Amino acid sequence: MEGHEHSRLAQQAAAGGGGAAIEAVFATAAGQVTQLPWDQAAASVQFEDLAPVSAFSVVPGHRWGPGWWWSATTGRHVVHGSAAMRTQLMVLDRNPDVIGMAARPVRLLWRDTDERVRSWVPQLFARYADGTGLLADCPSSPSAGGDRAQRVRVVLEAACMRVGWAHRRLEPPPTVVAANLRWLAGYRHPRNQGPTGLQAALAEAFAEPRPLADGAAAVGDPLQVLPAVYHALWCGHLTAPLDEPLHEEVLVCADAERGGGGVEKRLGAGGVQGRGERSGRHTR
């Protein structure tokens, strides 16, 4: 969207949809549909614990349907309705600052400048360790959703800014990065971290950048060690340049700055500004 148009819509949002006029509709843990002013809901509702306020539809003939993502962050499943949404769940699940996630937990209602009631259900909610939240949509391309999605974006950005949160239309990561993340995500479960002492041995073996296969072989049997290497790469205990295909000669390092930390930081931010430091909580 052109800057002039974005500014015009932002002014409209501030006048008609970006303030206290927004209402939040959600289903409580007991299944009761509730409506509260947006500011009140943002301050009091644990959206990360709520079920979707609207179901994902199954479209006959489409190659993709609703599914479930097991979250290493929460140990629970999160529903998704598209490949793009699953990818963003994967990226957020790897973000060390995210402590909770939910799909479609809230519907936002507001009266537009033409006095018509508008509504939107953001596809994802993420809770950060500092208590703030992210409302996100997961378009398959930047232009997906057309003008309506762009107008909604301006309203939701204003509403989230009002309560110290953020709203983002999360762009898909590059193809190679997404492929590498899908591979590492297969090892995200704590069972892949290996026996006691293996992660410490990996940190020692990869204290200096060295080829993945070489470092794994230095620690022990690759059949046991490689799953732990991939788990450590998922958690961020080890790093590698994820913008090139993972292979046995890729350089891996326990130091993020020396082992591909630039990409790691961008991915860790989940498409938004990162908060805090990498914690290692995924290995619980």
3-class SS letters over the chain: CCHHHHHHHHHHHHHHHCCCCCEEEEECCCCCEEEEEHHHHHHHCCHHHCCCCCCCCCCCCCCCCCEEEECCCCCCEEEECCHHHHHHHHHHHCCCCEEEEEECCCEEEEECCCCCEEEECCCEEEEECCCCEEEEECCCCCCCCHHHHHHHHHHHHHHHHHCCCEEEECCCCCHHHHHHHHHHHCCCCHHHHCCCCHHHHHHHHCCCCEEHHHHHHHHCCHHHHHHHHHHHHHHCCCECCCCCCCCCCCEEECCCCCCCHHHHHHHHCCCCCCCCCCCCHHHC
Rg (CA), the chain: 21
pTM of the model: 0.82
Tokens matching residue 127: 């809770």
Phi, psi of 259 (to 5 degrees): -115, 25
Q: What is the pLDDT of residue 146?
A: 75
Say what the pLDDT of residue 39 is: 96
Please enumerate in sequence order all residues whose Cβ is within 8 A of that of 251, keeping only pairs 6 or more positions apart, or say none.
209, 210, 211, 212, 240, 241, 259, 260
pLDDT at 230: 98
Residue 51 has a pLDDT of 94
Tokens found for residue 248:
């046995």
Q: d(Cα 159, Cα 16) in Å, to the nearest integer?
A: 11
User: Residue 116: which residues within 8 A CB-CB, separation 6 or more?
Assistant: none
190: which residues sit within 8 A by CB, 6+ positions away?
A: 72, 231, 282, 283, 284
**Cα(221)–Cα(194) distance, rounded to whole angstroms?**
12
Instruction: Specify the pLDDT at position 201.
Output: 97
Each residue's pLDDT tens digit in the chain (284 positions)?
Answer: 334 333 333 444 444 444 448 999 999 988 899 999 999 999 999 999 999 999 887 777 666 678 999 999 999 999 999 899 999 999 999 999 999 999 999 999 999 877 889 999 999 999 999 999 999 999 877 777 678 888 899 999 999 999 999 999 999 899 999 999 999 999 999 999 999 999 999 999 999 999 999 999 999 999 999 999 999 999 999 999 999 999 999 999 998 766 555 555 555 444 444 333 333 344 33
Distance separating alpha carbons of residues 218 and 257, to the nearest angstrom: 23
Per-residue model confidence (pLDDT) at position 5:
36
Give the C-alpha separation, 254 to 244, whole Å. Answer: 18
In this structure, the number of other CB atoms found within 10 A of the CB of residue 120 comes to 20
